[in-house]
Amino acid sequence: MKYQWANRPRTYLSLLLGSAFLPVPVLAMAVAAPSLQASATPALMLAKLWQVGQNPSAFLVSEKLDGVRAFWDGQALRFRSGRKIAAPAWFTAALPATPLDGELWLGRGRFDELSGIVRRRVPNDAQWHTLRYMIFDLPGASGSFGERAVQMVSVVASAKVAWLQTIEQRRVPDSAALQHQLTQLVDAGGEGLVLHRADSLWLPGRSDALLKLKPVPDEDARVIAHLPGKGRFAGQMGALLLELPSGQRFALGTGFTDAKRAAPPPVGATVTYRYRDRTPSGLPRFASFLRVSEAE
């Protein structure tokens, strides 16, 4: 991957705080991003973080799959960004007219392999036969989540294809049982848990009715610049300048392989990072790159 100096270079501080600081070169991609088949970002429910001390008894609990989020709008299968997924015709032909929200999944610990399959512009039939579409909600449907969970089972059963499945939802009586379930799941190679209030109506956007619980929290942010590397990373990406949904910005410089530094996520992409806690201003501490999540 070749790089060129941006026409209007900035320092880390100028990117973060404005033009009051003297500029230095910033790396920019020398090649244009490939055209994507896009549509408006779909309105989906998004999870907040589970807070210690909450009572889980009002929630239905399921495994948080390390898959690629996929929204079926009744006609096309799309990433969370709205970009169309190039799925085989037999795969989409078997899906119902009902909108579906779920994860394309290969199994625990196989995200990178899965991502390679679903990002192909020309789908590989044999590879698509190895994955499953795991449903966890019916976007826009009426009724409580408990009622929608029952409806999902019926919708999936009517499709009569083995690769379309629902994610199992369970009741957990208390915090001790929730922690025990999380520990067992993580020990078995799982990523974490999702908790959805059983009495909640479907509502797009981030909601206290939908929460995720992981041993180490992670969140998404948008890439707004590539910051140049130094030392052995000279001529490569040294860090990504990320923008949080709040508008705050920070530089993410750890967790990248050499291959990822040579071909970093493009400006505009969404990435997932892990972190330990937050600063008083709300920025993540000890953040580390996890994956490109534009295809969630």
Convert the pLDDT of each residue in 205-217 to its tens digit. 998 999 999 888 8
Would you state the structure tokens that stand for residue 34, as one six-digit string? 């490939």
Would you state the structure tokens that stand for residue 266, as one six-digit string? 């493009």
Query: Which of 142, 137, 148, 151 has its CA nearest to residue 99?
Result: 137
Could you tell me the maximum CA-CA distance found in the chain, to the nearest angstrom?
A: 63
What pLDDT shows up at residue 31?
Answer: 31
What pLDDT shows up at residue 40?
Answer: 77
Q: Is 64 a catalytic residue?
A: yes
What pLDDT shows up at residue 294?
Answer: 55
As annotated, the residues of the chain forming the CATH 2.40.50.140 domain(s) are: 3-33+217-292
DSSP-derived secondary structure letter, 84: B
The string of pLDDT tens digits covering residues 135-168 is 999 999 999 999 999 999 999 999 999 999 999 9
Place of tokens 């709040």: 246
3-state SS assignment for residue 233: helix
Distances (CA, A) of 145 to 54, 197, 247: 19, 7, 31
Written as one letter, the residue type at 185 is: L
pLDDT at 1 over 50: no
**Ranges 1-5, 34-38, 45-49, 79-83: which has the least confidence:** 1-5
Place of tokens 């530089």: 251
3-state SS assignment for residue 227: strand
What pLDDT shows up at residue 20?
Answer: 33
Q: How far apart are CA 77 and CA 86, in angstroms?
A: 8
Would you state the structure tokens that stand for residue 49, as one six-digit string? 């973080």
H or E stretch at 159: helix 145-159
pLDDT at 186 over 60: yes
More confident: 246 or 30: 246
Fold of 3-33+217-292: OB fold (Dihydrolipoamide Acetyltransferase, E2P) (2.40.50)
What pLDDT shows up at residue 34?
Answer: 35
DSSP-derived secondary structure letter, 42: P
Q: Which of 2, 48, 64, 212 is catalytic?
A: 64
**Hey, which of 23-32, 48-57, 81-90 has the most confident mean pLDDT?**
81-90
Place of tokens 């799309």: 78
What pLDDT shows up at residue 134?
Answer: 98
Reported confidence tier of residue 296, pLDDT bands at 50, 70, 90: very low
- Tell me what the pLDDT averaged over the chain comes to: 86
Global pTM?
Answer: 0.70
Does CATH place domain 45-213 in 3.30.470.30? yes
As annotated, the residues of the chain forming the CATH 3.30.470.30 domain(s) are: 45-213
pLDDT at 125 over 50: yes
Exposed, middle or buried: residue 269 (CB in 10 Å: 0-12, 13-18, 19+)?
middle
What pLDDT shows up at residue 39?
Answer: 59
Would you state the structure tokens that stand for residue 19, as one six-digit string? 């033009």
- Provide the terminal-to-terminal Cα distance of the chain, rounded to the nearest Å: 25
The string of pLDDT tens digits covering residues 71-103 is 999 999 999 889 999 999 999 999 999 999 999
